[in-house]
Amino acid sequence: MLRSAALGLVSLLACDSAGVAPPAAPPPAGSSHVSPDRSSRTGPEEHAAKDMSTDAPPTASSPVPADSAAKPDLPSLAQYTWLTEAGGDPPGREQLAAAIAPPAGARRAPLPAGSFGAWLRGLPLLPEGTSVLLYNGDTKPNQAAHVRVVDLDVGDRDLQQCADAVMRLRVEYQWAADQRRAIAFKLTDGTPWDFASYLGGTRLKLVGKKAERVPGSPRPATRETLRGYMRTLFTYAGTASIAAELPRRELAALTAGDVLVQGGFPGHAVLVLDVAEDDRGARYFLLGQSYMPAQQFHVLKNPGDATLSPWYRADALKTGAMTPEWGPFTDRDLRRFRDG
């Protein structure tokens, strides 16, 4: 599926970077039986009913202890604020690190409490055996790629694909951690797109082949405004932009929250959800993805090692690791967020 480009910017395949096109009015009202999303909203972001600006941040500072069979210490489900967007308490959900044990003989690597990686370990999961649904509610044809589905809405438009889901989770973490001034990415043409400016009223306008930031009316610090920011981000950024923007990560420093990305047309990106290690120094990692067309974010199987699956050996990245629907990824594709 193609996303249209504008004024000479290339037309790109769905799971890669989007071309920049003139910002449109908010999408028409609609709903998805996958779960509510920005694209099911009516009217501008300013009409949000709920202000989530007082969400408590994750606990910070001391390291999260490594574990083997012990129940991991996980963030509260209240940290996954899309679960409570409509009000009320978050639904009871199994969390990633409680559902997926480390490989035999290994333990989870220590992570700083309050870090992106520690937050990813607590991602809420839908019940075991849940099928991956597409943005339109259809069942994804390939149900052999995943072990679990993350309870993260995808919406009813073909936007939240591979790189978009990576950016979505990073933005959701920063929102929950009260790091909202740090929410920022670059669009495919290099234009900076930060949430603080968006709150201040900044919008996009195409001037020739370049997106230009122009002033507008300030917006409230609500989750609906956050969704408006992400809607623009998903439309005009993708694998090429994050591959160019994120710094390289050395394989020896691989950690939860890192990204394996091949920017291109098409391209793909997967997120490192967890890391484990054993006494011999061997290291392992879990991967999650969305794909094209837009679909629910899910934890990937390891198609190359049914015994180890869903974990991957870190050393496999030296020669190339295949995922169920893309590959091979190598350590040359490994990126990190700048504060990670």
* Confidence (pLDDT) at 88: 78
Per the prediction, the chain carries an average pLDDT of 84
Count CA atoms within 13 Å of residue 265 on its CB side: 12
Per the confidence metrics, is the pTM higher than 0.85?
no
Mean of pLDDT values over 144-165: 97
**Confidence band of 66 (pLDDT split at 50, 70, 90):** very low
Contact in structure between 15 and 163 (CB atoms under 8 Å)? yes
* Confidence (pLDDT) at 144: 98
- Assess whether pLDDT exceeds 60 at residue 124: yes
- Assess whether pLDDT exceeds 60 at residue 201: yes
Query: Is 44 or 85 the better-scoring residue by pLDDT?
Result: 85
* Confidence (pLDDT) at 70: 59
* Confidence (pLDDT) at 86: 74
- Assess whether pLDDT exceeds 60 at residue 23: no
Give me the percent of the chain exceeding a pLDDT of 90.
71
* Confidence (pLDDT) at 16: 57
**Confidence band of 22 (pLDDT split at 50, 70, 90):** very low
Q: Distance of CA 307 to CAs 81, 97, 103, 239, Å?
A: 35, 19, 9, 31
DSSP 15-45: TSPPPP-PPPPPPPP---SS---GGG--S-G
Mean of pLDDT values over 186-211: 92
- Assess whether pLDDT exceeds 50 at residue 52: no
**Confidence band of 87 (pLDDT split at 50, 70, 90):** confident
Q: What is the dihedral of CA 242, 246, 251, 252, to 10 degrees?
A: -150
* Confidence (pLDDT) at 191: 95
